[in-house]
Structure 1
Amino acid sequence: MNAKVCLLVGLLGLSGCSTVFDKQVEWEYVEPESYPVLTAVGYAPVSAQPGESDSIKMLMAIKASKLDAYRELTEQVYGQKIGGNQSLANLVMTDTNLKSTVQGIIRGAEVVKTYPVGEDTYATELSLDFRKVYDIYISTSRPRRIKDVTYF
């Protein structure tokens, strides 16, 4: 019995000593080895756009194709959330729904070009260089890892 009590007191004493030491943590900033470049293309029909003239419809199609390209980039970076619903009545499928949502923030994308495709569609190509994304990220939040720990 005395041996168990002595062992318990000894372990408590040793664990208490570890708080006596102070330490200094030296951090090192981490940079990725390579940076991918993502591309996306968005499309929009001119005739479906609201507007009083053809030039207004064309400008709206250009803007819509740019937003579609951003949506595609967001899908590549963050993925899609897919939700489904099915209804049964008397063991017969009555309704099936499928919903897809995309959410995220894209910073640093560049418009490569916008051009007409055929007679009624505009396309916009975007490029997202992750080197640029990394630089933006570093300017707002400095990621780091432990480089060295010195105990006193």
Structure 2
Amino acid sequence: MTLRWIFVSVLAAVMIGCAPVGQYQNGSDNRDLEPITVRVSGFGTYEDASRDRSNTRKRLLARRASQLDAYRNLAERVYGTVIFGSSTVSDFVLSNDMFRTYVDSYIRGAKMVAVNEHSDGVFETVMELKLETEFRSCVAQVSDIQVQDLCPIPVPRDSDSTGDVQARSVDSLYYLD
């Protein structure tokens, strides 16, 4: 009986000694985190670069395609991509392999950094998005499936000039300052 009381008192002392004292914080403080800037590129081109380059409508469509590709790449980088796939195997030989990707996101606060038309007829749009501390801490607390619904990207603060287009020292036909 005495041995049992000694064991219980030693166990209680060990548990009390391991208990945290004061205010315990899990992980780092959110104020210590810096915003992350995500930068992506999107590309678009003409159907026939030699013939369509002088057609203004097709140039604008190629430019728009590069912007939409940049938005899609940004959404994939921030929220991820759903991938569906199937493979058919016949006699231990792969006969068909098919993949589809699915992106459905809401992006706000994206900043267009540059829109360039290269000499080969390819438009490149560079976009960036600043992920603030609140977004990062929310992503760390919810499951991957719930991120898009529960963690919206906050509107940029300070004096971010959303929508400014600039391209310098690049291989392009025109640029905006």
TM-score band w.r.t. shorter chain: 0.5 to 0.7
Between 1 and 2, higher relative CO (CA 8 Å, sep ≥ 6) is seen in 1
Contact 1:82 1:99 in 2 (8 A): yes
1:40 paired with 2:43, answer: no
Normalised to the residue count of structure 2, the TM-score between the two structures is: 0.52
Structure 2 vs 1, CA of residues 102 and 114 (structure 1 numbering), >3 Å: closer, same or farther? same
Structure 2, unaligned stretches of length 5 or more?
1-29, 136-152, 158-177
Name the Cα RMSD after superposition.
2.9
Whole-Å Cα distance in 1 between the matches of residues 65 and 34 of structure 2? Answer: 32
Q: Give the corresponding residue for 2:155.
A: 136
Amino acid at match of 2:72: R
Amino acid at match of 1:69: A
Q: Give the corresponding residue for 1:77.
A: 78
Higher strand share: 1
Structure 2 vs 1, CA of residues 100 and 48 (structure 1 numbering), >3 Å: closer, same or farther? farther
Count of residues in Structure 1 that have an aligned counterpart in Structure 2: 107
Q: Percentage identity across aligned positions?
A: 26
TM-superposition CA deviations, 1:15-56 (whole Å, max 9, x none): xxxxxxxxxxxxxxx76732101111101012359x8x6111
More displaced 10-residue stretch of structure 1: 88-97 or 98-107: 88-97
Secondary structure of 1:118 counterpart: coil
Whole-Å Cα distance in 2 between the matches of residues 124 and 137 of structure 1? Answer: 20
Normalised to the residue count of structure 1, the TM-score between the two structures is: 0.59
Whole-Å Cα distance in 1 between the matches of residues 48 and 75 of structure 2? Answer: 24
